[in-house]
Amino acid sequence: MLRVLIVDNHELVRHGVRGVLKPTVEIVGQAHDVDSAIEKISVTQPDVVLLDVHLPGGNGASVIAGATQNGV
């Protein structure tokens, strides 16, 4: 089963996406800002990250750069 991490600063969006996807994929976690996204990517090693482009602490590119620096 596809393992997905949801990253969005709006709880309502994360909850809605989770509800729609949960029957078809494994949700491995959620994050609300750049730092928590990088940490959860490192810990959970998801197949897919659904990533908002505007986040507290930076943006989607910041998450990608941070995850890459952590060897993910």
pLDDT digits (tens, 9 = 90+) for 35-50: 999 999 999 999 999 9
Q: Give 68's pLDDT tier (boundaries 50, 70, 90).
A: very high
Q: Give 71's pLDDT tier (boundaries 50, 70, 90).
A: confident
Phi and psi torsions of 23, nearest 5°: -65, -20
Across the chain, mean pLDDT equals 96
Q: Domain segments of the chain: what residues?
A: 8-69
| Sequence-ordered list of residues with C-beta below 8 angstroms from that of 16, at least 6 positions apart, any chain | none
Question: In CATH, what is the architecture of 8-69?
Answer: 3-Layer(aba) Sandwich (3.40)
Residue with tokens 């609300």: 32
What is the length of the chain? 72
User: pTM (2 decimals)?
Assistant: 0.94
pLDDT digits (tens, 9 = 90+) for 8-23: 999 999 999 999 999 9
Rounded CA separation 4/15 (Å): 13
From start to end of 1-72, where are the E strands?
3-7, 26-31, 48-51, 54-55, 58-59
Give the pLDDT confidence score for residue 36 in this predicted structure: 98
